[in-house]
């Protein structure tokens, strides 16, 4: 925090309260000022000098030194202050805003890596254009600079006119970056750029309002990515990540309202709840008001609050003003922690052609009792044997959405000619857990017939989850047959979607569905067996797809969504075949690895091989490391893949990797790659019964805590679900948490997470 050096480059990180480490200041977000910054440095050491705003003067100081003066005319809080000085190369281009302002946009990177910044620069230009079209927001300075540094605690930072990035989210080439990396670069460049309005022009009154800028900006970057890529595929990705990170947080000891009521250390509140559930609230608001009123509300919010430090109330007031709606009940989403449950039961009267759905919402609070109801938009439809029943209607459903604002309610559809399967929470219209007891046959009807792509995917997830929790070879055969029909009919038309349908719920998601005494080994085995079953049953189809999706010889790599989708299905097919026949799979993956022309295919093949013990795997890993010895971001992938191997030998492997010359505890990306991937991505080994996994992470926290408390505290959050584990593992986790607690001089960051986790 404050001013620091990353690989010889001076840079700053002031959010949330780092500016006070640079100079005395009233370091609160509601204290706004106009800044003029004069930076002076040794010319050889720091030929590039960057600050907020526009460059107004440069000059020499004696023979060896020089200076630059930057002026930012927009009043801002200190957390948006930034400066950079160092040896950097750049790529740049011009953009003219909708109000005619010429802007020079540049991306600065380590000299020699300039060609790898082209995609990020292109994403800057696309973000600027999109915010004008989608939200009417134009850029407001003469320059927009992005700087990539290699030591960064988070993804990036939205300093006014001078965004500073973790280089992982800037640098990309087909040889070093996967399709996922390209998509993440596009999304994070957009996210930081969009903060220029949602965060910078309108900032937060205090840190309790963090979701005001983060939830809104995540929503905006999600919309951008959906417009750039496939909307349904992106939505499924958003929900997978919400369920993987936010739902467990909301169910564990670190749960907190989207607008927290109290904090000991604000750095610990840059959470999935503030960011991702915060974005879901904005999405629900749009669903409730409709796209037009939502856009009018956003315009009103900017008009009323430009140049101000605002609150969640100011945000909601803008929407209430334009729509005439009372949003006071909706505001409860910001205050109530936990994921609501929505239980639904259905009754059908064939004689009357009437179908009733009964809804009951619940969200037990601290006292164990439900509070006042939330406002839950439920997008829905009814699906018959050969498709959606469009003639069925209910007076309570408008534009396909029913708004549940009571604890319990019933709605009735008339004109229902056959018993339907309800398709509820279409497009995941609210961040709730749905209790809707469907049979496999009903879910498979949704997979085949629903018009909502999200619920088609959800139906496949539901069947697989049931089969992981309650294995049954006969039902697995029926599921494989349904998947086979789906693949035959649709896989080549939308490969990215098909790849998602084939992907089973993660071990974490399966654990989340178990009420208590979670045994990660049992979940791992059951999930592995189901993959093997499907891989065997679908083998010939998957091999045909593999062949059909092979790129033409000599075809150039392109990161566009359609090409990425074809790669993802082809790689998913390989992985599933390998689960069914590991020997043949290993040979095929090794072949794919040798012939790969881009990092997406290479890493996917290595990932498949990593799950198959043996010589082929070890040789492939050694060759990969040798090939990319000088590529830190690729080596991170190599560390991460090995940390996630679900085998008893992984702990030993991690010990070896920790003494690998490329491992360093001082680089946040490297620590996250090895120890973070182990803690968050290897459930069976992190929660080993002998406690070895917990102690490895605890030891890392202990070493890291004084130098980088933020990263140490984040690692500690991996212990968040210890209470749900079966007793012996839970006891080992507590032992290690208490061991950390006893470390003298523990940072406030780690102490806060510990206190709440043990709490
Ligand atoms: N607003 C930025 C948050 C951030 C941050 C917070 C605490 C410590 C370090 C940090 N680096 C960046 C990033 C964002 O969400 O846009
Ligand atoms: Zn942000």
* pLDDT confidence of residue 408: 98
76: pLDDT strictly greater than 90: yes
* pLDDT confidence of residue 225: 98
- What is the Å distance from ligand 2's center to 437 Cα? 38
Tens of pLDDT, residue by residue over 264-277, are 999 999 999 999 99
d(CA 3, CA 9) in angstroms, rounded, equals 10
Dihedral sign (CA 484, 486, 489, 495): negative
Catalytic center residues? 192
d(CA 241, CA 568) in angstroms, rounded, equals 17
* pLDDT confidence of residue 367: 87
- 403 plus 538 within the same structural domain: no
Q: How is 506-519 classified by DSSP, letter by letter?
A: PHHHHHHTS-SSB-
Residue 175 lies in a domain: no
CATH of the domain at 289: 1.10.390.10
Residue 722 lies in a domain: yes
For residue 595, what pLDDT band results from cuts at 50, 70 and 90? very high
d(CA 727, CA 733) in angstroms, rounded, equals 10
- 65 plus 137 within the same structural domain: yes
Please compute the mean of the pLDDT values over residues 248-276 and round it to a whole number.
Answer: 98
- pLDDT over 90, % of the chain: 99
Pseudo-torsion of CA 509, 512, 515, 518, nearest 10°? 80
- 215 plus 267 within the same structural domain: yes
- 462 plus 381 within the same structural domain: no
Which of the listed residues 154, 155, 207, 219 should we mutate to test ligand 1's pocket, taking the one with most ligand atoms within 8 A of CB? 154
Residue 195 lies in a domain: no
End of a domain among 405, 430, 455? Answer: 430
Residue 190 lies in a domain: no
Q: Of the ligands numbered here, which is closest to the C-alpha atom of 155?
A: 1
* pLDDT confidence of residue 366: 84
Tens of pLDDT, residue by residue over 161-174, are 999 999 999 999 99
Q: How is 649-670 classified by DSSP, letter by letter?
A: THHHHHHHHHTSTT--TT-HHH
Around ligand 1, the residues with Cβ closer than 6 Å are: 13, 15-16, 153-154, 156-158, 191-192, 195, 214, 267, 270, 710
Which of 66, 75, 69, 110 lies closest to 90, judged by CA?
A: 110
d(CA 543, CA 117) in angstroms, rounded, equals 37
* Domain housing 259: 203-335
Query: Half-sphere exposure of residue 217, counting CA atoms within 13 Å on the CB side?
Result: 28
d(CA 516, CA 509) in angstroms, rounded, equals 13
- 366 plus 301 within the same structural domain: no
- What is the Å distance from ligand 2's center to 264 Cα? 21
Strand order in the sheet with 9-13: 2-6, 9-13, 83-86, 48-51
Backbone angles phi, psi at 294, to 5 degrees: -65, -45
Q: Which atom of ligand 1 is nearest to the CA of 199?
A: 1
- What is the Å distance from ligand 2's center to 287 Cα? 23
219: three-class secondary structure by DSSP: helix
Q: How is 335-380 classified by DSSP, letter by letter?
A: H--SPPEEEEEEEEETTTTEEEEEEEEE-B-TTSSB-SPP-EEEEE
Pseudo-torsion of CA 637, 499, 169, 562, nearest 10°? 130
Q: Which residues does 512 contact at the CB level (< 8 Å), separation at least 6? A: 243, 247, 248, 251
- What is the Å distance from ligand 2's center to 326 Cα? 28
Which of the listed residues 269, 270, 712 should we mutate to test ligand 1's pocket, taking the one with most ligand atoms within 8 A of CB? 270
Whether the link from the prior residue into 16 is cis, omega within 30° of 0, is yes
ipTM: 0.98
- 24 plus 158 within the same structural domain: yes
Tens of pLDDT, residue by residue over 662-719, are 999 999 999 999 999 999 999 999 999 999 999 999 999 999 999 999 999 999 999 9
- 51 plus 127 within the same structural domain: yes
Tens of pLDDT, residue by residue over 171-213, are 999 999 999 999 999 999 999 999 999 999 999 999 999 999 9
- 9 plus 111 within the same structural domain: yes
Backbone angles phi, psi at 481, to 5 degrees: -65, -40
155: three-class secondary structure by DSSP: coil
Number of domains observed in the structure of the chain: 5
Query: Half-sphere exposure of residue 188, counting CA atoms within 13 Å on the CB side?
Result: 23
Alpha helices in 414-472, H assignment, sequence order: 440-449, 453-469
The DSSP bridge pattern shows strands 143-149 and 54-61 to be unpaired
Please compute the mean of the pLDDT values over residues 626-653 and round it to a whole number.
Answer: 98
Residue 610 lies in a domain: no
Q: Which atom of ligand 1 is nearest to the CA of 192?
A: 16
- 252 plus 401 within the same structural domain: no
CATH of the domain at 693: 1.25.50.10
Residue 194 lies in a domain: no
End of a domain among 430, 455, 477? Answer: 430
* Contact between 463 and 444 (Cβ < 8 Å): yes
Q: What is the pTM of this model?
A: 0.99
CATH of the domain at 145: 3.30.2010.30
d(CA 299, CA 499) in angstroms, rounded, equals 38
Tens of pLDDT, residue by residue over 328-372, are 999 999 999 999 999 999 999 999 999 999 999 999 888 899 999
Residue 680 lies in a domain: yes
Q: Which atom of ligand 1 is nearest to the CA of 214?
A: 15
Q: Which atom of ligand 1 is nearest to the CA of 158?
A: 16
CATH of the domain at 400: 2.60.40.1840
- 442 plus 400 within the same structural domain: no
- 96 plus 21 within the same structural domain: yes
End of a domain among 368, 402, 430? Answer: 430
Backbone angles phi, psi at 490, to 5 degrees: -130, -15
Q: Of the ligands numbered here, which is closest to the C-alpha atom of 708?
A: 1
Residue 178 lies in a domain: no
d(CA 143, CA 161) in angstroms, rounded, equals 7
d(CA 458, CA 505) in angstroms, rounded, equals 10
- 362 plus 412 within the same structural domain: yes
């Amino acid at each position: 925090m404050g001013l620091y050096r990353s690989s010889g480059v001076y840079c700053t990180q002031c959010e949330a309260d780092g500016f006070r480490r640079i100079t005395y200041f009233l370091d609160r977000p509601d204290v706004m000022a106009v800044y003029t910054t004069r930076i002076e440095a040794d010319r050889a050491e720091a030929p590039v000098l960057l600050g907020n705003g526009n460059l107004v003067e440069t000059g020499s100081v004696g023979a060896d030194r020089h200076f630059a003066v930057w002026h930012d005319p927009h009043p801002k809080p200190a957390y948006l202050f930034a400066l950079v000085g160092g040896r950097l190369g750049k790529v740049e281009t011009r953009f003219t805003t909708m109000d005619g302002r010429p802007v020079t946009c540049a991306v600065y990177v380590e000299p020699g890596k300039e060609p790898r910044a082209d995609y990020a620069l292109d994403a800057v230009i696309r973000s600027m254009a999109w915010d004008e079209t989608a939200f009417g927001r134009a850029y407001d300075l003469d320059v927009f600079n992005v700087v990539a540094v290699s030591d960064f605690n988070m993804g990036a930072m939205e300093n006014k006119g001078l965004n500073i990035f973790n280089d992982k989210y800037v640098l990309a080439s087909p040889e070093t970056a996967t399709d996922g990396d390209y998509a993440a670069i596009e999304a994070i460049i957009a996210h930081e750029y969009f903060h220029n309005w949602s965060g910078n022009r309108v900032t937060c009154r205090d840190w309790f309002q963090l979701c005001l800028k983060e939830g809104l900006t995540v929503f905006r970057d999600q919309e951008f990515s959906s417009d750039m890529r496939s909307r349904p595929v992106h939505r499924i990705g958003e929900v997978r990540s919400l369920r993987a990170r936010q739902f467990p947080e909301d169910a564990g000891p670190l749960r907190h309202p989207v607008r927290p009521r109290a904090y000991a250390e604000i750095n610990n509140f840059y959470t999935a709840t503030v960011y991702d559930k915060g974005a879901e609230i904005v999405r629900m608001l749009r669903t409730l008001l409709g796209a037009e009123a939502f856009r009018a509300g956003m315009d009103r919010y900017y008009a009323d609050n430009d140049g101000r430090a605002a609150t969640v109330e100011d945000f909601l007031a803008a929407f209430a003003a334009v729509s005439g709606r009372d949003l006071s009940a909706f505001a409860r989403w910001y205050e109530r922690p936990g994921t609501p449950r929505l239980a639904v039961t259905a009754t059908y009267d064939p004689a009357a052609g009437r179908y009733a759905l009964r809804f009951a919402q619940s969200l037990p609070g601290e006292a164990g009792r439900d509070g006042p109801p939330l406002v839950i938009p439920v997008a829905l439809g009814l699906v018959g044997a050969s498709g959606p029943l469009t003639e069925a209607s209910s007076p309570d459903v408008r534009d396909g959405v029913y708004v549940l604002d009571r604890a319990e309610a019933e709605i009735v559809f008339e004109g229902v000619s056959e018993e339907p399967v309800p398709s509820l929470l279409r497009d995941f219209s609210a961040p709730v857990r749905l209790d809707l007891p469907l049979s496999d046959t009903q879910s498979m009807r949704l997979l085949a017939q629903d018009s909502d792509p999200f619920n088609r995917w959800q139906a496949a997830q539901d069947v697989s989850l049931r089969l992981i929790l309650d294995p049954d070879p006969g039902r697995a055969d029926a599921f494989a047959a349904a998947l086979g029909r789906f693949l035959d009919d649709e896989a080549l038309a939308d490969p990215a979607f098909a790849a998602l349908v084939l992907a089973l719920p993660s071990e974490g998601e399966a654990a989340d569905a178990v009420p208590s005494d979670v045994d990660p080994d049992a979940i791992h085995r059951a999930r592995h067996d189901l993959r093997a079953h499907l891989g065997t049953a679908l083998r010939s189809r998957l091999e045909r797809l593999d062949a059909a999706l092979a790129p033409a010889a000599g075809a150039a790599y392109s990161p566009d969504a359609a090409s990425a989708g074809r790669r993802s299905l082809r790689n998913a097919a390989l992985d599933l075949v390998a689960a069914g026949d590991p020997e043949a799979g290993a040979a095929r993956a090794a072949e794919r690895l040798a012939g790969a022309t881009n990092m997406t295919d290479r890493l996917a093949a290595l990932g498949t091989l990593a799950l198959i013990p043996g010589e082929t795997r070890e040789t492939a890993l050694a060759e990969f490391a040798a090939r990319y010895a000088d590529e830190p971001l690729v080596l991170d992938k190599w560390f991460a893949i090995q940390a996630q191997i679900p085998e008893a030998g992984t702990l030993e492997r991690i010990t070896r990797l920790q003494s690998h010359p490329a491992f360093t505890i001082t680089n946040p990306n490297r620590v996250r790659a090895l120890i973070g991937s182990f803690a968050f991505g290897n459930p069976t080994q992190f929660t080993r019964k002998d406690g070895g996994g917990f102690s490895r992470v605890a030891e890392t926290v202990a070493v890291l805590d004084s130098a980088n408390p933020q990263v140490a505290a984040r690692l500690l959050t991996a212990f968040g679900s210890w209470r749900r584990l079966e007793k012996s593992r839970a006891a080992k986790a507590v032992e290690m948490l208490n061991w950390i607690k006893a470390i003298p001089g523990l940072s406030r960051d780690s102490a806060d997470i510990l206190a709440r986790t043990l709490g």
